[in-house]
Amino acid sequence: MAITHHASRIYYFFTRTPAGVTYNQAQFRVASLSILHYNPGKFFQEDPTDTQIKANYHQIPEEHISAKAFLREISETLLLTILIFWAVNAATGRFRIDGSSMEPNLHNGQYIIINKLMYQLREPERGDIVVFQYPHDPSRDFIKRVIGLPGDEIKIERGSVRINGQSVSEPYIVQLGAYSGTWELNPGEYFVLGDNRNNSSDSHNWGILPGKNLIGKAWVVYWPIQDWGAVPHVSLDPGDGSAHAAGG
């Protein structure tokens, strides 16, 4: 009962302390020891008033409180800004299109946002426009369209693409490529082509793209401002000779 009684006095003492009051360390130790040794004589014999507390403990200047609050607010804002910046850069990237290999759909000098999380959640699909590290020089980034997936057989005859023996319609290109060839894709390998078939360095001349080189999916054109908008996605369906456009 004695411990409970004196503990309630300490609780009352601290909860009655007015704003801006700090505790004298020596008096705090006396108050604590009086409870430990069951000695109420060293503690308040009656409930302390605000006047008593202010008389015994010094007041923190208001300018110190304001400065601390301001510094805390600045620190929290900076920390939040850093966290947001880190999250945005972890999830997205920026890429400048250099050249005409993706004409007529993407243009030289455009800036796009890359979704770097997309392929952590699902596998690339035929028709995706992707940014990747060039297999023969990882310091260079390329942008092309996915045509073949792991396990596919890609056959091009005078520019006409067939996937696993089935023809594919590609309404997004202006001119067929002036080349032919056959490629077998192993697990983790992709076949990519530029939309400007006769002016593109892609899988038809340097080979397959390892999946580990993928950076992300082209997501949004953000510059020039008049070109702002989602990069259109086209789903290629081998066999029915069609291609279906969709946003993003």
Using only the alpha carbons of the chain, give its radius of gyration: 35
* From 101, 116, 155, 200, active-site residue: 101
Owner of token pair 């939309």: 195
Give CA–CA dist 40/112, Å, rounded.
Answer: 73
| The Cα angle at residue 146 between residues 143 and 152, in degrees rounded to 5 | 145
Cβ pair 150, 186 in contact under 8 A: yes
Helix-then-strand count for the chain, H and E:
6, 14
Q: End-to-end CA distance of the chain: give it in Å, rounded.
A: 71
* From 34, 116, 144, 155, active-site residue: 144
In the residue annotation, 42 being an active-site residue is answered as: no
**Sign of the alpha-carbon dihedral angle for 200, 139, 120, 183:** positive
Q: Which among 156, 148, 195 is positioned nearest to 179, based on CA atoms? A: 156
In the residue annotation, 54 being an active-site residue is answered as: no
Token pair of 78, please? Answer: 């900076």
Please list the active-site residues: 101, 144
